[in-house]
Amino acid sequence: MIITGLVVFVGTLALGWYLFGWSTEGPPGMRITAKRYFGRITLFEIDRNGDGVPDARAEYSWSHPYVHHTLPQRNVLDNNFDGIWDTWIVTIAENLHEFPLCRYEVDTDLDGLPDVEFIESDPYAGNERLRSLRGF
């Protein structure tokens, strides 16, 4: 009876881990945590500056979860590392041969809410425009 209860308990833990578990890895100074939702990877939380606080999120839907090299539906960034999200990059259209078309939603007055939007397909140009809008 005790053995059966133990097996059920461990099985429940294993199933819970499979459905909602996470794994963390990354190069020195950076931590990338992949989180599963009902068995599919739908979120990466990234600590880019190694302070223990995630400052980037790559979000996937359950119907279009992460599979090797798939694009997230949305990236959320805290680019000045103050603990408040300030940049939301939404994938509008994927392009197999070029960068995807993205809508940038930018918080320029640092109140945690986006106040400027623009569309860009070149991530380097997008980052340059972010810097010109608010300095980082």
Smallest separation (angstroms) from Ca ion to the CB of 128: 18
Q: Which is nearer to Ca ion, 82 or 94 (CB)?
A: 82
Site for Ca ion in 63-82 (CB under 5 A): 78, 80, 82
How many CB atoms neighbour CB 104 within 10 A? 21
> Taking CB under 5 A as the rule, does residue 105 contact Ca ion?
no
Nearest residue relative to Ca ion (C-beta)? 86
DSSP designation for 79: T
Distance (Å, whole) CA 69 – CA 108: 30
What proportions of the chain, in percent to the nearest 5, are helix, strand and coil?
25, 35, 45
> Taking CB under 5 A as the rule, does residue 86 contact Ca ion?
yes
Give the H/E segment covering residue 117. strand 116-120
> Shortest CA distance to 33 belongs to which of 49, 54, 13, 50?
54
The CA-atom distances, in angstroms, between 110 and each of 53, 76, 80, 92, 129 are 18, 14, 10, 25, 16
Smallest separation (angstroms) from Ca ion to the CB of 25: 16
Stretch that binds Ca ion, among 3-11, 14-22, 51-59, 123-131 (CB under 5 A): 51-59
Q: Choose which of 7, 15, 84, 113 interacts with Ca ion (CB under 5 A).
A: 84
Number of residues that bind Ca ion (CB under 5 A): 10
String of contacts with Ca ion for each residue 30-49, x by CB under 5 A? -----------------x-x
Q: Which residues bind Ca ion (CB under 5 A)?
A: 47, 49, 51, 53, 55, 78, 80, 82, 84, 86
